[in-house]
Amino acid sequence: MKRPTPEEIRRWDFEHVWHPFTQMAEYAASDPLVFVSGDRHDLIDDRGRRYFDATSALWCNLFGHRVPRIDAAVRAQIERLAHATLLGAAHPAAAELARRLVEIAPAGLTRVFFSDDGATAIEAALKIAFQHRLLVRGKEAAKKAVYLSLDNAYHGDTLGAAAVGGVALFHEIFRPILMPALKAPSPYCYRCPLGENRASCSMECAKAAEETIAREADRICAVILEPGVQASAGMLALPDGYLQRIADAARRHGALLVLDEVATGFGRTGTLFACQKENVTPDLMCLAKGLTGGYLPVAATLATDAVYRPFLGRYEEYRHFFHGHTYTGNPLGCAAALATLSMLADGSVIGDVPRKATVLREALDPVGAHPNVGEIRQVGLMCGVELVADRASRSCFAADRRIGYRVCQAMRRHGVFIRPLGDVVVIMPPLTSSDDELRRVARALFAALEETLDG
């Protein structure tokens, strides 16, 4: 069969593909990038142009593209078994991956439920938490069960995940069809929702969450948050000690703690999992993105035995977890995940993240001095640069100016592919990026700011 030409691919894309988080009326009038190959940390388009992938294929690529060890693992698996269901059956790759995840996860997480991506891992955790409450406390307790999450939270776009989300731009339109959820103030220190000053604040946002957990203890079946960083909120760094306080409050009042490590897991913050920085073990932990090195959609929801045990019983009691997906635990994805974990096993990649974070931080110093940069927030190799119309007042640009988008478009002219979150430029490079590549991203951002805002 004859391969389609680049012109045909572009035409078919415009005519048929509905792109996520994309205004298609504008996209159809644009000259979009069409990536045809990858080489290490670069993406290559259909015109032969190279771009450093500073967004890590939407935050999931750990080692770059065409990684020999992962390629070989997937090839070897496809020669044995491409897919088999986990509904009442097993296969070696899923069993081995589950074992490896339990070995590296915070102590006490012993059970692994596989799904496909971050949102499905969250959906599983929410349903497990609800059914656990039903099984342990009965129907009346389950009837009034709610979840507590943070303002500005993002946990995915399926209905359950969206219900515990708090990004108005993404979720508000769907609010009428979402289950109710309680919210606690986001630790957004730059724009504190409680009006506190960073220098004098005694973590009032944590206190507010603790008070809500105590007040609604008979209703809250689970507290869910991202440890370390609220990523899609614009890389909002949680204050040191915040996670431990919320974890203690949840345990004190009988709520399960669900940690969303979809974006923060597998080394992004400088430890394998962000919750390890405060020695917190959740009741449920959700993993995806970097789990397969950015190759294939595999996600996992890890649970403690205390959460798992109430689901056991005789068949006719119907205590088992009624939830699953066709491609749950797909062998090819599990093989990619096992190869990924083997590449992280000696600790050298993650161990170098703090040093590389310093390289990036120092390279961004000129960016931080730009009059339209309000704040640079960074935890490890997760970084957000918030752009403002006026630094003194912290006023935002008008939405129709699309400053973040225009800055990222300008960065492409300097050979860097990146996407913004509104007017926050998000830098999420592969963990194996070189020092020179990190400095290149910073230089490209500075040049793009000058071209976009100083002209």
Q: Which phi and psi angles does 223 have, rounded to 5°?
A: -110, 130
At 133-170, the pLDDT tens digits run 999 999 999 999 999 999 999 999 999 999 999 988 88
For 382-424, how does the pLDDT look when each residue is reduced to its tens digit (9 = 90+)? 999 999 999 999 999 999 999 999 999 999 999 999 999 999 9
The residue-averaged pLDDT of 264-278 equals 97
- The pLDDT, as a whole number, for residue 171 is 85
Domains of the chain, residue spans? 33-66+352-453, 72-344
Do 158 and 116 meet the contact criterion of CB atoms below 8 Å apart?
A: no
DSSP state of 291: G
- DSSP type of residue 173: G
The DSSP H or E segment spanning 339 is: helix 331-344
Which three-class secondary structure state does DSSP give residue 200?
A: coil
Query: What is residue 196's predicted lDDT score, i.e. its pLDDT?
Result: 87
Reference 262, options 61, 383, 119; nearest CA is 119
Above 80 in pLDDT, residue 454?
A: no
Compute the Cα dihedral for 232, 235, 238, 244 and give only its sign: positive
CATH classification of 33-66+352-453 is 3.90.1150.10, yes or no? Answer: yes
Q: What is this structure's pTM?
A: 0.96
Is residue 47 predicted with pLDDT exceeding 90?
yes
Question: What is the average pLDDT across 184-208?
Answer: 90
Q: Which two tokens stand for residue 101?
A: 């995840």
Question: Average of pLDDT values for 195-218?
Answer: 92
Q: What is the CATH number of domain 72-344?
A: 3.40.640.10
What DSSP string describes 345-405? TTSHHHHTHHHHHHHHHHHTHHHHTSTTEEEEEEETTEEEEEE-SBTTTTBPPPGGG-HHH
The reply to whether domains 33-66+352-453 and 72-344 share a CATH topology is: no
State the Cα torsion 426-430-434-440 to the nearest 10°: -30
pLDDT value at position 282? 98
